[in-house]
C-alpha cells in the first residue's frame, strides 16, 4: 500500500482542469522549440488555402460564361476556367499533403521532448511521491495522455491553421461578391459561436474526469496483474472482478459522457449553418431577380458560405478532441509541476573518503504531520560495525533506512556520517556511499551480467563473477545456456525468488561502498542458502559499517549491536548474548519465533 505522506495526489478525481489558455501557454513552450517548422507549416497552410479559395471564384466565372446558342466559344471559356480550377486544386492538395507530413514530424518531436521531460521529472521526484501515487496512473500520463496530445497536435492544429485562413479568405470573397448576403449570415454566425463556447465549458471537465478515471483503471489493472499469484492463492478472483467492473463502469460512463456531449456539438452547429444556407438561397434569388447578382456570383457566394461555415462546423467537431487533449495535457503538466526532491545545499560537497561512522542524534520523524514514527532516536554505528535493527511490524525499522539514505529528511535532530551532518553532502554521493539490498527485489530485462553490474559502471567480467561466487550463484549461472549473458525477463519472472534475491545481493557486493544496508535481505532464501549468504556477508562486511533489518532473528546473532525498536523508540540495545541475559523485550521477541 502506498504511504500517505500528506502530499497532494496527482490523481485528484474531483479537480477540474485549469484554464485552457494555461494549457496552450505550456504547450507553446514546446512548440516554440521548433518555431521554424511551425513557420513553414503556417506558410504552406496559407498558400494551400489561397489556391483552394480561388476555385469557387473560377466556378462562378465558368457559370456566367454560359450563353445558350454560342456552342464552341462557350465551351472553350468554361474549359479554360475549369482547367485552372483543377490545377489550383491539385496544387492545394499537394501542399496540404506536405503540410500533413510536416505537422506529423513536428508533433512527434514535441511529444518526444515532452516524454523526455516527464521522465526526467520522475527522476527528480522524492520517494514520497511514488509511495503515494499509483504506478499505473503515472504510466497512464506518460503513455495515454501524451499520445492524446500527440494526436491533437498532428491533426487538430492543421485544422485550426486551415480554418483561420479559410474563414478570413471566404469572408473577403463574400464581401466582394455581395455585402448584402454577408449581412444575412450575421444572423446565424453569433449563434454558432455562442453555442460552441457554451459547449466548450461544459465538455472540458468531462474530458478531465475521463482521463482521471482511465488513469485510476490503469493503476488498478497494473496492481492486479503484478499480484496474480496472491489473488489466486486467496481465491479472490470474484472480489477483484467486482472491483474491476466498478472501475471499468466508471471509466466507461466518464468516456461516454465526454464523447456524448462532445459529439452533439458538431451536428447542432451543422444545423445552424444549413439554416444560414437556406437564408442565403432565398435572399440570393431575390437579388438575382432584381439583377443585382448573376447566377455565377450566387453560386460562388454559396460555395464561399459553405467554406466559411465549414471550419466552424469542423471546429465544433474537433472540440471534443481539443478538450480531451487539454485535459490530458493538464494531467501531464500537473505531474511536471510536482515539487522535486529538496535540492542540495548551495555549498554541499561530495561525500568522499568514507570511514563509515554513522550517528543518529535524537532523531524524530513521521510521514504525516503531528504523527511521529521515530521519536528521539539515538544510534551510533562505529566504522566496520554490524548494527541489527529488529522489532515488530510498524516499529520504524525501514523508516530508519529511509532516513539514513535521505529518502526523507528528519524533523528534529540530525544524522552525521564521519562527524558531519548528511545535509552538508550531496544526495547522490551520500547514497553511493551505501550498498543496499531491499526486501523487494528489483531486476530489469537484460542479461544476468548487466543486472549484477548495474550499480558499478565499467564493471569487469572478473568482478561480476567474483560477486556471484560470493553468493553461491556462480554454479547456477554457469548451468544456464548463455551463462552470464542469459537474458532474464522483466522483474526476473523466469528465475526463482531466492535466485532474484541472490542476484541483488551480488549486485551490492560488487559495489565498493563503505556502508551496507540489508533490509530483509535473506527473507526469500532457504535455510541452506541463507547460511552460505551469511558466510559471504561476513566477508563482505569486513571494514564496512552495516545495517541489517530482519524479522528472522537467527540471522543477526553475530551483530556487534542489536537495536530493539518499538513504536519508534529504542527499548533495548546490546549484543545477542547481553539481550538474551536481560530476558526483556528482545528475549520475548526471539523466543516467539519458535512458539
The domain that holds 468 is classified in CATH as 3.40.50.300
Integer CA distances (angstroms), 508 to 410, 423, 521, 540, in order: 26, 24, 11, 9
| Contact by Cβ (8 Å): 369, 562 | no
Q: Using the 3D structure, point to which of 474, 491, 512 is the last residue of a domain.
A: 512
pLDDT value at residue 12: 42
Which pLDDT tens digits describe the chain residue by residue (595 residues)? 344 444 444 544 334 445 677 888 888 888 888 888 888 888 888 888 888 888 888 887 877 777 655 555 567 887 888 888 889 889 989 998 898 888 888 888 888 888 888 888 888 888 878 877 777 778 878 887 888 888 777 777 777 777 788 888 888 888 888 888 887 777 777 777 777 777 777 777 777 777 778 777 877 777 777 677 667 666 777 878 888 888 888 888 888 887 777 777 767 777 777 777 777 777 777 777 777 777 778 778 888 877 877 776 666 556 667 777 888 888 888 888 888 888 888 888 888 888 888 998 888 888 877 778 888 888 888 888 888 888 877 767 788 888 888 888 888 899 999 889 999 998 888 888 888 877 777 777 788 888 888 877 788 888 888 888 887 788 888 888 888 888 886 655 567 777 777 888 888 888 778 888 887 656 556 666 666 666 666 666 777 888 888 767 766 777 888 888 887 677 888 888 888 888 888 888 878 766 6
pLDDT at 11: 43
Question: 87: number of CA atoms within 13 Å, CB side?
Answer: 7
Q: Which residues pair with 386 in a beta bridge?
A: 546
Give Cα 11 to chain centroid, integer Å.
12
The residue segments making up the domain with residue 158 are 20-336
Please choose, from the candidates 514, 482, 136, 140, the residue with its C-alpha nearest in 3D space to the C-alpha of residue 352. Answer: 514
Quick one: pLDDT at residue 90? Answer: 92
Who contacts 378 (Cβ-Cβ below 8 Å, separation ≥6)? 360, 361, 362, 363, 570
Number of domains in the chain: 2
* Residue where a domain stops, chosen among 512, 538, 557: 512
- The sign of the torsion formed by the CA atoms of 161, 162, 168, 172 equals positive
Domain assignment present for 518: no
**Collapsing DSSP states into helix, strand and coil, what is residue 33?**
coil
Contacts of 471 (CB under 8 A, 6+ apart): 502, 503, 505, 506, 509, 532, 533, 536
Beta bridge partners of 569: 566
Residues 196 and 47 in one domain: yes
* Cα–Cα distance, 567 to 585 (Å, whole number): 13
Q: Is 174 helix (H, G, I), strand (E, B) or coil?
A: helix
Cα–Cα distance measured from residue 30 to residue 427, given in angstroms and rounded to the nearest whole number? 30
Q: Is residue 132 assigned to a domain?
A: yes
CB of 450 closer than 8 Å to CB of 477: no
Structural domain includes residue 131? yes
What CATH number should be reported for the domain holding residue 206? 1.20.1560.10
Domain boundary among 336, 357, 377: 336
pLDDT of residue 91: 92
Amino acid at each position: 500500500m502506498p504511504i500517505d505522506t500528506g502530499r497532494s495526489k496527482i490523481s485528484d478525481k474531483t479537480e477540474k482542469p485549469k484554464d485552457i489558455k494555461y494549457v496552450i501557454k505550456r504547450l507553446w513552450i514546446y512548440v516554440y522549440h521548433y518555431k521554424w517548422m511551425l513557420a513553414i507549416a503556417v506558410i504552406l497552410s496559407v498558400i494551400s488555402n489561397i489556391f483552394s479559395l480561388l476555385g469557387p471564384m473560377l466556378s462562378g466565372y465558368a457559370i456566367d460564361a454560359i450563353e445558350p446558342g454560342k456552342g464552341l466559344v462557350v465551351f472553350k471559356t468554361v474549359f479554360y476556367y475549369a482547367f485552372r480550377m483543377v490545377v489550383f486544386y491539385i496544387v492545394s492538395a499537394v501542399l496540404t499533403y506536405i503540410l500533413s507530413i510536416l505537422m506529423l514530424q513536428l508533433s512527434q518531436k514535441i511529444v518526444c521532448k515532452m516524454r523526455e521531460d516527464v521522465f526526467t521529472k520522475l527522476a527528480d521526484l522524492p520517494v514520497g511521491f511514488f509511495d503515494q501515487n499509483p504506478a499505473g496512473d503515472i504510466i497512464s500520463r506518460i503513455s495515454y495522455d501524451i499520445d492524446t496530445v500527440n494526436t491533437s497536435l498532428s491533426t487538430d492544429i492543421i485544422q485550426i491553421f486551415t480554418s483561420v485562413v479559410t474563414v478570413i479568405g471566404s469572408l473577403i470573397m463574400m464581401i466582394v461578391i455581395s455585402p448584402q448576403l454577408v449581412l444575412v449570415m450575421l444572423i446565424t454566425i453569433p449563434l454558432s459561436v455562442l453555442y460552441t463556447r457554451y459547449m466548450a465549458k461544459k465538455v472540458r471537465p468531462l474530458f478531465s474526469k475521463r482521463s482521471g478515471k482511465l488513469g485510476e483503471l490503469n493503476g488498478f489493472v497494473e496492481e492486479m496483474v503484478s499480484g496474480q499469484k496472491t489473488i489466486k492463492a486467496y481465491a479472490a478472483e470474484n472480489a477483484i472482478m467486482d472491483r474491476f467492473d466498478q472501475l471499468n463502469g466508471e471509466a466507461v460512463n466518464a468516456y461516454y459522457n465526454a464523447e456524448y456531449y462532445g459529439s452533439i456539438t458538431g451536428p447542432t452547429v451543422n444545423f445552424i449553418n444549413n439554416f444560414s444556407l437556406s437564408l442565403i438561397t432565398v435572399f440570393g434569388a431575390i437579388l438575382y431577380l432584381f439583377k443585382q447578382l448573376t447566377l455565377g456570383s450566387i453560386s460562388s457566394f454559396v460555395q464561399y458560405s459553405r467554406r466559411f461555415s465549414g471550419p466552424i462546423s469542423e471546429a465544433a467537431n474537433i472540440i471534443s478532441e481539443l478538450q480531451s487533449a487539454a485535459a490530458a495535457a493538464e494531467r501531464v503538466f500537473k505531474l511536471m509541476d510536482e515539487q522535486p526532491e529538496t535540492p542540495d545545499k548551495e555549498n554541499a560537497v561530495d561525500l568522499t573518503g568514507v570511514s563509515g561512522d554513522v550517528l543518529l542524534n535524537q532523531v524524530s520523524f513521521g510521514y504525516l504531520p503531528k504523527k511521529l514514527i521515530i521519536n528521539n532516536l539515538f544510534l551510533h554505528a562505529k566504522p566496520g560495525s554490524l548494527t541489527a535493527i529488529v522489532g515488530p511490524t510498524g516499529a520504524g525499522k525501514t523508516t530508519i533506512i529511509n532516513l539514513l539514505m535521505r529518502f526523507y529528511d528528519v524533523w528534529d535532530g540530525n544524522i552525521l556520517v564521519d562527524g558531519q551532518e548528511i545535509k552538508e553532502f550531496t544526495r547522490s554521493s551520500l547514497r553511493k556511499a551505501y550498498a543496499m539490498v531491499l526486501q523487494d527485489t528489483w531486476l530489469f530485462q537484460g542479461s544476468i551480467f548487466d543486472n549484477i553490474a548495474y550499480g558499478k559502471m565499467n564493471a569487469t567480467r572478473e568482478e561480476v563473477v567474483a560477486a556471484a561466487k560470493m553468493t553461491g550463484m556462480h554454479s547456477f549461472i554457469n548451468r544456464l545456456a548463455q551463462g552470464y549473458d542469459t537474458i532474464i525477463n522483466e522483474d526476473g519472472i523466469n528465475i526463482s525468488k531466492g535466485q532474484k534475491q541472490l542476484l541483488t545481493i551480488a549486485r551490492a557486493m560488487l559495489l565498493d561502498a563503505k556502508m551496507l544496508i540489508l533490509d530483509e535481505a535473506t527473507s526469500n532464501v532457504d535455510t541452506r542458502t541463507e547460511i552460505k549468504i551469511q558466510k559471504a556477508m561476513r566477508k563482505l562486511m569486513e571494514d564496512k559499517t552495516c545495517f541489517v533489518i530482519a524479522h528472522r532473528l537467527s540471522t543477526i546473532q553475530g551483530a556487534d549491536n542489536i537495536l530493539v525498536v518499538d513504536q519508534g523508540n529504542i527499548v533495548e540495545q546490546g549484543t545477542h548474548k547481553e539481550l538474551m541475559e536481560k530476558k526483556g523485550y528482545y528475549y520475548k521477541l526471539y523466543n516467539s519465533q519458535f512458539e
